[in-house]
Amino acid sequence: MSGKSDKMGTSEKEFLAQAYTPSPTVPERPGSFGQLRKAPESFLEKSTIEAVSQSGVDENRRRLLRTSFTTALAGMLGAGLSARAAAAEGDPDILTLPPWSKSLGNAVATNPYGQPSKYEANIVRRQSPGLTQTAQASVSFSPLQGMFGMITASGLHFERHHQGWVDVDPRRHRLMINGLVSKPMVFTMDDLMRLPSVSRIHFIECGANTGMEWGNAAVPTVQYTHGMLSCSEFTGVPLSLLLEHAGYDKARGKYVLAEGADGSSMTRTIDIERALDDVIVAYGMNGEMLRPENGYPLRLVVPGVQGVSSVKWLRRLEVGDKPYATKDEAIHYVDLMPDGQSRQYTSIQEAKSVITSPSGGQRLMTKGYYNVTGLAWSGRGTVKRVDVSFDGGRNWYTANLEGAVLPKALTRFNIGWVWDGKPAILQSRVVDSTGYVQPLKRQLKEVRGTRSVYHNNAIQSWRVMESGEVENVQIA
């Protein structure tokens, strides 16, 4: 640790340097709140650093500095001289009590529906610029880089709409079951919510997730590379129960068509074996009703299958004896192979994993210990094991599985790592309960060629540079 830290300077310039030198009383631990750390370059714009070293801090720049430093400094500059004195004795955030310790807090139900802290404003869904021509036939990506555990907060669940989202009046919503059934039926929400229910945690991943990365590294952060992925607890009626209830034709019924109530009336064909297995006609999501963007008041959840099959605003289920070749299974969501044929009805999301922290666009603050974490999942079963490499796939270490390990659900993994300050390439690789090992991109390309974009479950690489900056790269 630097011995300069206890030196009291008189100029503002020295003050700045001093404020960012680790205090001798606080051990240097990355990620610790009480740490007084060296200013990462990224906090200060270059021109400001130069201007400050030339002329010290005038009032105008002090304002500027305050905003750029809010996170690292938390009021030290504002507190002026006393803070300066305090820094020598210890952490000013300990020595000078913050306002929230010295005031009355807000009333209960100030926000009748609770909101995240204002300091979390960066962790939101985002569109990828230029990906789609319109904002209604588009995607917003989940901020995986800022999430923990296996559950996606409902407000952060990724969105994929084809004709905008709608807020359906639940009292006017109906579910119809027709086709090869002994009795075509209609259910209201009241009916459905009276029926026996299940609650299960499942991921939903768009078949096009990581599709932008098929050719080469194209987008900067895990939000855009992998963010068409979310995981929630869904509550609803098992589809098998409803199919039995309507008396589906067990001899001839081979497929179920699901249809939405929105403008696009999205339709998708579901295999009867899937339909009778673990598919849920869901109204609940993470303990509350579905969000409108996620299909309020009723959606299908087809675990392990690409998200487009989990039809939102579900209004109709039809049992049939042949697949339907709807727009999103005959023009899109087909995988073009090197021989010019397109694979139709590619559904299963095979085992995949990604490190979310650290990931592209982030920066490691110092050398030393980091808890590296990420997500693993498989549409064919459970996560058996996750291995992590720090040298681009030469050597691998088995990670801890953190929290519950459930079928067709996200599984959080973590592994301790000490960064020595040298370039490194981080990767994760999942093995699922069928023994399937997450593939390398080059292995996928050998079979699927260069034009396929869906179902890219290749191992993701993040390069850590000497500066600590992490970037999205692909390995040959």
Partner 1 sequence: MFKLPDGFTRHVGVLLMMAVLSACGQGGDEKAEAAAVTPPVASPWQSGYEDIGRTAKPAEVAAWDIDVRPDFTGLPAGSGSVEQGEEIWLARCAACHGDFGDSNKFFSPLALGNVTPQDIESGHVAALNDPTRVRTTLMKVATVSTLWDYIDRAMPWNAPKSLSTDDVYSLVAYLLSLDYIVDEDFVLSNENIAEVQARLPNRNGMTQDHGLWKIDGEPDVHNTACMTDCESSVEVASSIPSFARNAHGNLRDQMRSFGPFQGVNTSEEQGEKMMLASEDKAPAAPKAGLAASAPMDLLTSNGCLGCHQVDNKLVGPAFTAVAKKYADREDAVAYLSQKIRQGGSGVWGGATMPPMAQLSEGKADEIASWLAQ
Say how far apart CA 83 and CA 92 lie, in whole Å.
Answer: 6
Residues across the chain: 476
User: Which residue stretches of 130-170 are H helix?
Assistant: none
* Binding residue (CB under 8 A) for partner 1 from 104, 251, 418, 476: 476
Which residues in the 430-449 window bind partner 1 by CB under 8 A?
431, 433-434, 436-440, 443-444, 446-448
- Select from 245, 337, 320, 232 the least CA-distant residue to 283: 232
Say how far apart CA 153 and CA 286 lie, in whole Å.
Answer: 8
* Binding residue (CB under 8 A) for partner 1 from 152, 161, 407, 426: 407
CB of 135 to ligand HEC, least distance (A): 10
Q: Is 135 in the site for ligand HEC (CB under 6 A)?
A: no
Say how far apart CA 229 and CA 411 lie, in whole Å.
Answer: 12
Say how far apart CA 312 and CA 267 lie, in whole Å.
Answer: 10
Q: Is 221 in the site for partner 1 (CB under 8 A)?
A: yes
Say whether the peptide bond before residue 184 is cis (omega within 30 degrees of 0).
Answer: no
CB of 108 to partner 1, least distance (A): 27
Q: Is 54 in the site for partner 1 (CB under 8 A)?
A: no
Q: Which is nearer to partner 1, 6 or 120 (CB)?
A: 120
The count of residues interacting with partner 1 (CB under 8 A) is: 158
CB of 319 to ligand HEC, least distance (A): 25
Q: Which among ligand HEC, partner 1, none contacts residue 169 (Cβ within 5 to 8 A by kind)?
A: none
Q: Is 384 in the site for ligand HEC (CB under 6 A)?
A: no
CB of 263 to ligand HEC, least distance (A): 10
CB of 240 to partner 1, least distance (A): 11
Q: Is 401 in the site for partner 1 (CB under 8 A)?
A: yes
Q: Which among ligand HEC, partner 1, none contacts residue 402 (Cβ within 5 to 8 A by kind)?
A: none
Q: How many CB atoms lie within 10 A of CB 263?
A: 13
What stretches of 49-191 adopt beta strand conformation (E)?
138-140, 159-161, 174-179, 185-188
Cβ–Cβ under 8 Å, residues 458 and 440: yes
Stretch that binds ligand HEC, among 114-122, 165-173, 326-334, 447-455 (CB under 6 A): 326-334
Stretch that binds ligand HEC, among 140-148, 197-205, 325-333, 448-456 (CB under 6 A): 325-333
* Binding residue (CB under 6 A) for ligand HEC from 327, 404, 420, 447: 327
Q: Which is nearer to partner 1, 23 or 439 (CB)?
A: 439
CB of 320 to ligand HEC, least distance (A): 22
The helix (run of H) or strand (run of E) holding residue 9 is none
Stretch that binds partner 1, among 11-19, 88-96, 273-281, 293-301 (CB under 8 A): 273-281
**476: burial class by Cβ within 10 Å (0-12, 13-18, 19+)?**
exposed
Which residues in the 79-118 window bind partner 1 by CB under 8 A?
none
Q: How many CB atoms lie within 10 A of CB 110?
A: 9
* Binding residue (CB under 8 A) for partner 1 from 13, 56, 249, 324: 324
Instruction: Name 438's Cβ contacts closer than 8 Å, sequence gap at least 6.
Output: 351, 352, 353, 428, 429, 430, 431, 457, 458, 459
Q: Across the strands, what pairs with 299?
A: 282
CB of 76 to partner 1, least distance (A): 15
* Binding residue (CB under 6 A) for ligand HEC from 94, 137, 404, 447: 137
CA dihedral 398, 408, 225, 32 (to 10 degrees): -50
Instruction: Name 215's Cβ contacts closer than 8 Å, sequence gap at least 6.
Output: 450
Q: Across the strands, what pairs with 161?
A: 138
Q: Which is nearer to ligand HEC, 1 or 137 (CB)?
A: 137
Site string for ligand HEC, 252-271 (x = CB under 6 A): ------------x-------
Which residue type sits at 369? Answer: Y
Burial 87-100 (b: 16+ CB within 10 A, else e): beeebbbeeeeeee
Stretch that binds partner 1, among 6-14, 98-106, 153-161, 404-412 (CB under 8 A): 404-412
Q: How far is CA 409 from the centre of its chain?
A: 13
Q: Which among ligand HEC, partner 1, none contacts residue 12 (Cβ within 5 to 8 A by kind)?
A: none
Which residue type sits at 195? Answer: L
- Sites of contact with ligand HEC (CB under 6 A): 134, 137, 162, 264, 327, 331-332
